[in-house]
Amino acid sequence: MTDRYAIIGNPISQTKSPALQTAFAEQCGQDMVYGAILGELDGFAAAVREFQKSGGKGMNITMPFKLEAFALADELTPRGRAAGAINMFTLRADGTVLGDNTDGFGIVRDITHNLGRRLEGARVLLLGAGGAVRGALLPLLDEQPAEIFVANRTASKAVELAAEFGPHAGAVRLAGGGFADIAGRFDVIINGSASSMTNEVPPLPAGVWSEGSLAYDMAYKKEPTAFVQAARAAGVGQTADGLGMVVEQGAECFTLWRGMRPDTAPVIAALRGA
């Protein structure tokens, strides 16, 4: 019997998940189908339960349901709990739901595997203090950079976020503040703020990046984001948007559901070409 999976969100027409998961299934010879569900804003839990009752094996969750997914899960993985938001359900045969967050894994995998950047010992600057940055923090800390500084327009939110994840930091110097508190050059600058959605660039001080830096935008568009354009104009040698992150987080979901890891390179290339 063909196994069923789906992504739920509102809106949902923009999602690339069905194309990703279908490509992974074909590559790995898996008998599964993956669809998209437009969830009613007041009917998320009911839609999940209906899909599970009908035999669904797993779901991805996108906006605006990631916080509801966190509350609905019967069990959470450590990274899902730390993120405070869930983008993946494993729907168990006993009727329970395991919640996870693979977004942070996706960005780390894209940076280290696809882009070939070493995070261990690096100075990392994280821009923003919302759900995207929260989801990335624990996987980034696991890579043992020398330092992570979280910068946000509202400095107090960055300070609070850094303090919350302090117990997970170990030897990593983890701190937060406003954009005016950013000091020195960073090896990796990750934009997890909403600025790219409004075609803006965070107000970064001069000298924050150099030719040897990586400027990474979690957002992606058909054309380079404003953040990527600004980095290139400043002479940054390596830039990337979040398309690889999207593919890698989807591959992590597939791996957890199906027990095998797909090759993401041809899928990323196909999406770039499209």
Question: Rounded to 5 degrees, what angle do the CA atoms 81, 85, 90 make?
Answer: 75
Confirm or deny that 45 is annotated as ligand binding: no
Confirm or deny that 15 is annotated as ligand binding: yes
Tokens for 62, please give them: 């996108």
Confirm or deny that 171 is annotated as ligand binding: no
C-alpha span between 82 and 189 (Å, rounded): 22
Confirm or deny that 242 is annotated as ligand binding: yes
3-state class (DSSP) for residue 61: strand
C-alpha span between 237 and 213 (Å, rounded): 6
Confirm or deny that 123 is annotated as ligand binding: no
Confirm or deny that 218 is annotated as ligand binding: yes
Confirm or deny that 250 is annotated as ligand binding: no
Place of tokens 């999940």: 48
Place of tokens 């669809």: 35
How far apart, in Å, are the Cα atoms of 193 and each of 19, 54, 101, 107, 198? 26, 38, 18, 14, 10
Confirm or deny that 1 is annotated as ligand binding: no
Instruction: Count CB atoms within 10 A of the CB of residue 57.
Output: 18
Confirm or deny that 263 is annotated as ligand binding: no
Amino acid occupying residue 88: M
Catalytic residue among 57, 66, 221, 222: 66
Does residue 221 have an active-site annotation? no
Tokens for 1, please give them: 């019997």
Confirm or deny that 273 is annotated as ligand binding: no
Confirm or deny that 132 is annotated as ligand binding: yes
Confirm or deny that 198 is annotated as ligand binding: no
Helix H segments across the chain? 17-28, 44-53, 66-72, 78-83, 103-109, 131-142, 155-165, 226-233, 243-258, 265-273
Confirm or deny that 16 is annotated as ligand binding: yes
| Catalytic positions, written as ranges | 66
Residue positions forming the annotated binding site for shikimate: 15-17, 62, 87, 103, 220, 249
Residue positions forming the annotated binding site: 15-17, 62, 87, 103, 128-132, 152-157, 218, 220, 242, 249
Residue positions forming the annotated binding site for NADP(+): 128-132, 152-157, 218, 242
